[in-house]
Structure 1
Amino acid sequence: MIPLWMFPTAVTCGNSFILKPSEKDPGASVMLAELAMEAGLPNGVLNIVHGTNEIFDAICDDDDIKAISFVGPKAAGAYMYSRASAKGKRIQSNVGAKNHAIVMPDASMDTTLNAVISAGFGAAGQKCVALATVVFVGGIDLWEDKLVERAKSLKVDAGTEAGVDIGPVISKQVKEQMCRLIQTGVESGAKLVLDGRNIVVPGFEHGNFIGPTILSNVTADMECYKEEIFGPILLCMEADNIEDAINVVNKNKYSNGASIFTTSGVAARKFQMEIEVGQLGINVPISVPLPSSLFTSSRPSFAGDLKFDGKAGIQFYTQIKTVTQQWKDLPDSDGQALLMSTS
């Protein structure tokens, strides 16, 4: 998905493009490049480079590279922004995500549960628009058992067979970090209502799998809430009213997206006006708009002046020029007029 935010617009605007995927999952980018060649994109327009820190630094430093689009972890994005901006490059950087959903007492039960399960556990939670935290206004009691029941029904496997809902997380180190954050939540007073840490997938006994995990009674001071998890782990919080729920979202240090589930137009409007994030969903999980629209993640999750898609994406990949021309002969004068040119 992420490369498709970038290179189609870039090459359409007349640029060549260097795509450096994460060294941990390079395959999809290569497949996209093969499809681009099959579609007729000329050789040398889309280029794939692989590597780690050395390649990353070379892209930041190369004088022939005029602009950088980046999506990834906060630390890497901050490093890139500092190093590349010092070289005068144009930058758009989307980092950090802790997306929230506010569930009002009047929300449709089935619609909300389906959306929360899909957005929270799809792609094993490894996407910047994954739903990480649900804030239940009025309490979680009516929701908890049904939420756990639906999460338990998800199939965890390697993804090579049909019907798999959750695949592995990306590395052993990431799995260990997720398990640590789950444990810190429990030790800080969260209730572990569904534990997916010890799941075993036949044939992949040593794989990096975490099953659907749900923590309730989570509070804003817990490490599991303050840090990105980026896995199939859903945090549940409670709020007395919509004002308190909006305040929870607005105080979080990440500002990628948020949703509300309600049948009240008044509540939806209040959420829309007062929430301080870029991507909003009303009775839908965090939305990823079409390229003709705009992915509007806001600071501190976004650094740069122009977003990835829509008209802003075209502006990012285009160098704007101002051209002033004159084709008429000027009358002779006794001396050179040192005047400001107007027309």
Structure 2
Amino acid sequence: MPTTYDALLLLSFGGPEAPDEVRPFLENVTRGRGVPPERLDAVEVHYQHFGGVSPINARNRELIEAIGARTALPVYFGNRNWYPFAEDTVRQMADDGVRNALVFATSAYGGYSACRQYDEDIERARAAVGERAPHLVKLRHFFDHPQFVRANADAVRRAFATLPAEQQDVARLVFTAHSIPNSADAAAGVPAEGGHRYSRQVQEASALVAAELGIDDFDVVWQSRSGPPQIPWLEPDIVGHIDDLHAKGVPAVVVSPVGFVSDHVEVVWDLDNEAAERCEELGMGFARAATAGPDPRFADMVVELMAEHTDGAPEPRLSTIPSAGCTRDGAPCAVDCCVPQRRPATGQR
């Protein structure tokens, strides 16, 4: 396996950047999943509410610029579902003479969509380029990395500070992440290690952020579920949980999207619109913490993850929760880790 690297590939989900790109993007995301056209119609409305533009590509370009300022390696950008597609980017890397590269996937967690599917993206892109394709090694999970935890904690502090003074000491801290089917969560683990479920990693990241803030009592909820109602997904949903908190007399909430690296349509629609509007209807205070990606420490973290491979640097972790991803020698995950689940998807990113 290579011990020196010529570049970094930032690999992400992708998102439309113009109104006429929304439908083709959603069709890419849901291809082969049997999602009915009326479901895509409903999701398309969310994108058009923001002019047909998801913020995810812009945030990723900002992150690439920040990483580039911290490393001498060139940083490339590729997506799973929209331009720039990973296949095109890997082809450009080959044309530029890149032979060995690290890959930073913009997800902190395990699971099929959050982890293994990025491995599949890498293999598909290399196969499309052929023998000239560079060797690509994906960096490890980072849900318990100190920089990720501290960036999220400071974002929560800033969110609390935006509430009226009388609500700051009584607001409930609520962490949220993308829901997945219960069956997919059960599959998100290495059997030999006793499993390391996506939901368990999200719970752990939330606990680490709360501990950094000195908060002992908090909630972890889920958002952005889709699919037939008879299929169980991780619960409770963020909006339903707000209703429950209101019924208990909670006067305000601070929501931390700890499950997401950067803003995209699922964050700004589900939280800044639906959750915020529900709190307003109920007369509750609402504040949403920023995602960690724009924080300078996030780019610092990416460079530290790279150094684990380039310089043999230590692997800082705040947790003992099992984690997966490539090891220092580039060994892949177990073949039975995070097996794919056929399910409908919203495509909101």
**TM-score of the two chains, using structure 1 as the length reference:** 0.28
Which structure is richer in relative contact order (CA contacts within 8 A, separation 6 or more)? 2
Max Rg structure: 1
Name the structure where strand makes up a greater proportion of residues.
Answer: 1
**TM-score of the two chains, using structure 2 as the length reference:** 0.28
